Amino acid sequence: MVSSNPVNQSRAYNTAEVVNWSMHFWRLYTFVGTRLQVEWAAFLYVYLYPYRISTHGICLSGTGKRCHVIRSRIENFQTIAHSLTSSKIKTKIKNKDAKGTGTEFFEQQSWSTPHHHFNHRLHPILTSNMASRDEFILTLSCPDRAGIVHAVTGFLAQYNLNIVDSQQFGDPTSKKFFMRVHFAPVDIENKINLDELRTSFNETAQQMSMDFDLSSTARKPRVLIMVSKIGHCLNDLLFRQSTSQLKIEVPLIISNHPDFAPLAATYKIPFHHMPVTPETKADQENKILELVKEQKIDLIVLARYMQVLSPALCSAMSGKIINIHHSFLPSFKGAKPYHQAYDRGVKIIGATAHFVTSDLDEGPIIEQNVVRVDHALSPKELTTEGSNVESNVLATAVKWVTERRVLINGAKTIVFN
C-alpha cells in the first residue's frame, strides 16, 4: 500500500558526534572494508541508517557549510585501526574466512578505538549491492501550461517520495510539455504499491490532460527481436543483454529464416522460424501478435529484419517497434547498399534507429550516427564499418527506449539521455 507517512523523526545529532562516527567508520573501512571488498558507501549506510543521518553531506549548525570527512583529516588512522580489540576479526581476516557481503562477519562484534566505542548489530542488508529499494520512472506528455512541474513534485512529496533525477522540455512548436522523473521512497522501508500509486496519480493526470506511464525500475522490459539473414545486430544485442549492458529480457527470437537458431540456442532463447510469403504474411503476423500477448512483450526490435510490416501490425504495436537501417545512404536502395556506396565513392556512412510506422522508414527518429570512410576501403570493409555503426546505434536506441527516455512528439522524438 502507498504510504503517506513521513519518515520517523529522531533527535538531532551535533556536529562533533557525526564527525566522530564518520572518522571511526573511515578507520574501520580502511582496516577491514578493503579486505572484504565492501564499498565505503555501504559501510557508512548500514551504520548511519538507523539514525536517519544523510550520507550525502553533513551541515555544520549555524554555518551552512558542508563538513566532508576526508582521508587527510584523519591523523594516524592506520595506527588507530590496528588497535581494534576483537581477536576474532583479526583471525578471520588472517584466515580469509570472511565471505560475500560481510553481513555475517560484522554481526555481534564489538569494536573499540581510543576515541569511540560501540556495540551495534548492523542492519541486515546485502552490502555488496547496497540495500535494495523501490525505484520508479514517471514519463508524461501534455499540453504545456503553468504548474505542471509543481503538480508532479507536489504529488511525489505527498507520498514522501524523493526525486533522483528529473528532466523536462516544453516544445514551443507543438505547445506540448514532456517530462521524465526518476524517483524513490525517502524511507527505504516505505514499500510502494505501483498500482495504487498509478491510480492516485491518475487524478493529477486528468487535471493536466496528461498521457503518462509509471513503471518500476525493478522490472526489466521484455523485448522480442526479429531478424532475417544478417546477424550482426542480433548478436550484439544478445551479448549486451547477457552482460547486463542492456537491462532487458529477451524471451524469444523470430526469424523468417532458420540461420540463427544455433545462436539463439547458445543464449538459451526460444527461436521461432516463421517463413513469410505473400500468401502466409497475414497469418504470420497474427502469430506474432499472439506471441506478443502471450509473452507480455513491451518492445519489438527489428534487428535487420528484411520484411515490411503491414499497417495492421504497425498500428497494433504503435510506438513499440524499433527498426535500424543505413539511413545515410538514401540514394542506395535495395540489395547491397554498401556496394552501391563504394561505386559512388561516398565519404560517410551511417545508420538510423527509428520507430516503425506504416510509412516505410519514415517513423520518428531515436538515434543516428555516422563514420567517415574513404576511397581506400573495399566493399567488404565498408560493410564492416556500416555493420559496426548499425549495431551501436540500435543498441543505444534500445537502451534509451527501455529506460523510458524516449517520448514521441508527432513525427519526431524527445530523448532525455
- Which CATH architecture fits 136-216? 2-Layer Sandwich (3.30)
Exposed (0-12), middle (13-18) or buried (19+): which is 409, by Cβ within 10 Å? middle
Distance separating alpha carbons of residues 407 and 2, to the nearest angstrom? 27
Q: Per-residue pLDDT averaged across 4-23, rounded?
A: 48
Cell of 46: 548500514
Q: Does domain 222-415 have CATH number 3.40.50.170?
A: yes
Contact in structure between 382 and 373 (CB atoms under 8 Å): yes
Q: What confidence score (pLDDT) does residue 191 get?
A: 85
In the chain, the percentage of residues whose pLDDT exceeds 70 is 66
Q: Would you kindly state where each structural domain of the chain is located, as residue ranges?
A: 15-118, 136-216, 222-415
Residue 109 has pLDDT above 60, yes or no: no
Q: Which residue has the higher pLDDT, 78 or 406?
A: 406
Q: Per-residue pLDDT averaged across 313-320, rounded?
A: 96
Q: What confidence score (pLDDT) does residue 336 get?
A: 77
Q: Which residue has the higher pLDDT, 285 or 89?
A: 285
Residue 96 has pLDDT above 60, yes or no: no
Per-residue confidence band for 202, with pLDDT thresholds at 50, 70 and 90 = very high
Distance separating alpha carbons of residues 124 and 119, to the nearest angstrom? 15
Q: What confidence score (pLDDT) does residue 339 get?
A: 79
Residue 56 has pLDDT above 60, yes or no: no
Residue 413 has pLDDT above 70, yes or no: yes
Per-residue confidence band for 68, with pLDDT thresholds at 50, 70 and 90 = very low
Chain centroid to Cα 199, Å, comes to 24
Closest listed residue to residue 403, CA positions, set 145, 164, 236, 186? 164
Residue 329 has pLDDT above 70, yes or no: no
Q: What confidence score (pLDDT) does residue 280 get?
A: 94
Assign 221 to helix, strand or coil.
Answer: coil
- Output phi, psi for 199, to 5 deg: -65, -40
Task: Give catalytic residues, as residue numbers.
Answer: 361
Per-residue confidence band for 134, with pLDDT thresholds at 50, 70 and 90 = confident
**Average pLDDT for the chain:** 77
pLDDT tens, residue by residue, 25-34: 555 555 554 4
Exposed (0-12), middle (13-18) or buried (19+): which is 333, by Cβ within 10 Å? exposed
Highest-scoring range by mean pLDDT, 22-26, 103-107, 340-344, 364-368 = 364-368
Residue 9 has pLDDT above 50, yes or no: no
